[in-house]
Amino acid sequence: MKLLTHASLFTGLGAFDLAAEWLGWPTIFQVEQNPFCLSVLARHFPYAHRHPDIRTFDATPYAGTVDVLTGGFPCQSFSLAGKGAMDLTLWRQMLRCVVECRPAWVVAENVRGLLARSHGLVLEEICADLEAAGYSVFPPLLLPAAAADADHRRERLWLVAHARGQRQPQQHATPVPEEPDPGSVLLHSLVPAQPQLRPRYASLREVLREADGLPEGLDPTTRNAALHALGNSIHPIVAFNLLRCIAYV
């Protein structure tokens, strides 16, 4: 398995960064504006460069240093629970950073609602943007947290793109085992189908049935910020499986 370098946009609590750390990949930089999330990132990823605003962030100095760039660009305009107003502004900022630092791989995450926006034309536009920037985009994956054996759905749409002509020579990589990692098989097949879900666990609310309260150790001064950040986060094990299969390509 190749050891790669990682960087993240719209980092949040750092779920992608945690997954990269499990693989032994250093995170070069993080871009996040939420003060609570920044305090968490500073504690757990002290070595990473942090930038508070993607609109003013210049990724050009990092060109050639990042193998995998990840980002869950904000999804309010695509969420089925939101107002549904169309806004690709922050996706354009992510795309700009991709062009500036030229990672070998791009992994983007968003909500399931992106599939349905304008009958799929918004997703097509995002994929076309990456293609125009010189990337080959794999068919989108719809993977829920339940795919990592979580007891709730938390469905997310994942986009994986590879820079054309920038693949590292195979002789420099550790050979793929005789029985390939399941994540590697998934990335290569990329069948846009939903994994088998536990039928009783359609949502977190149905799992919990009733609130059990909050941990006593949760700081009341940051409780709302923490819950908001957790609600926006992804399941790090799902991200880990996607990043792990990239390491075998």
Query: Which residues participate in catalysis according to the annotation?
Result: 75
CA separation for the pair 144, 138 (Å, rounded): 18
**Encoding tokens for residue 82?**
């939101």
CA separation for the pair 6, 70 (Å, rounded): 8
**Do 46 and 76 touch, CB atoms closer than 8 A?**
no
CA separation for the pair 131, 164 (Å, rounded): 9
Q: What is the DSSP letter of 216?
A: T
